[in-house]
C-alpha cells in the first residue's frame, strides 16, 4: 500500500496590531517606518517581525489602518503623509487634513502570499520656519489590521 503524506497548508488568519509607544515624526522626515507594535486583541495569531505584520498564508484581505496624533495637525506649508506598505510597495497613501488629529486610510483590498509583509510609514514635508512635528499616539486608536475580504 502506498504511503501518502499530506503537509499542513499555511493558513492566514486575521491579523492586527496596535501602536505600543508614541513616535515623533519630525519635519523633513521621509519614509519613517512606524515602529513599536503589539498584537491587537482579537488578532492573537498575528505574527509581527521588524515592526511588520507577516502573512502566514495566502489570502485576499481588506487592510485597515488608522493613525492618531497627540495634537491637531495644522500646516498649510507641508503635509503629514501616511503610507500603507505591502512588502516594499506602497499600496495606499493619504495626508492628514488640517485641523484633524486622526487619519483613517480607506479600506484597501490586497492579495497576500506566504511571508508578505504589511506595515506603515510616514513622511513629514514641513520645513524651516513653517515646520511642524507630528507625534503618533500609542493605543487602540493607532492600528493596522488585515481581515478576510
pLDDT band for 11, please (50, 70, 90 cuts). Answer: low
Residue 7 pLDDT: 41
- H helices, E strands: number in the chain: 0, 14
How far apart are the C-alpha atoms of 149 and 63, rounded to whole Å?
A: 9
Residue 127 pLDDT: 93
Give the Cα-Cα-Cα angle 51, 57, 60 (nearest 5 degrees). 95
**Averaged pLDDT, 122-142:** 96
From 3-12, 45-54, 88-97, 121-130, the region with the lowest mean pLDDT = 3-12
- The stretches of the chain forming alpha helices (DSSP H) are none
Query: Of the candidates 83, 76, 69, 84, which has an alpha carbon nearest to the alpha carbon of residue 133?
Result: 69
More confident site: 107 or 4: 107
How far apart are the C-alpha atoms of 133 and 73, rounded to whole Å?
A: 9
Mean pLDDT of all residues in the chain? 93
pTM above 0.95, yes or no: no
Residue 8 pLDDT: 44
**Is the pLDDT reported for residue 10 higher than 70?**
no
Residue 111 pLDDT: 97
**Is the pLDDT reported for residue 4 higher than 70?**
no
Tens digits of residue pLDDT in 27-81: 999 999 999 999 999 999 999 999 999 999 999 999 999 999 999 999 989 999 9
Amino acid at each position: 500500500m502506498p504511503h501518502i503524506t499530506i503537509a499542513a497548508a499555511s493558513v492566514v488568519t486575521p491579523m492586527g496590531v496596535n501602536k505600543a509607544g508614541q513616535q515623533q515624526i519630525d519635519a523633513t522626515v521621509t519614509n519613517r517606518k512606524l515602529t513599536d507594535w503589539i498584537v491587537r486583541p482579537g488578532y492573537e495569531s498575528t505574527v509581527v517581525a521588524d515592526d511588520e505584520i507577516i502573512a502566514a498564508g495566502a489570502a485576499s484581505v481588506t487592510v485597515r489602518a488608522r493613525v492618531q496624533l497627540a495634537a491637531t495637525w495644522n500646516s498649510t506649508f507641508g503635509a503629514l503623509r501616511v503610507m500603507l506598505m505591502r512588502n516594499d510597495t506602497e499600496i495606499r497613501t493619504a495626508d492628514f487634513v488640517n485641523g484633524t488629529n486622526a487619519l483613517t486610510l480607506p479600506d484597501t483590498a490586497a492579495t497576500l502570499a506566504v511571508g508578505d509583509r504589511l506595515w506603515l510609514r510616514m513622511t513629514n514635508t514641513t520645513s524651516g520656519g513653517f515646520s511642524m512635528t507630528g507625534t503618533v499616539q500609542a493605543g487602540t486608536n493607532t492600528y493596522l489590521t488585515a481581515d478576510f475580504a
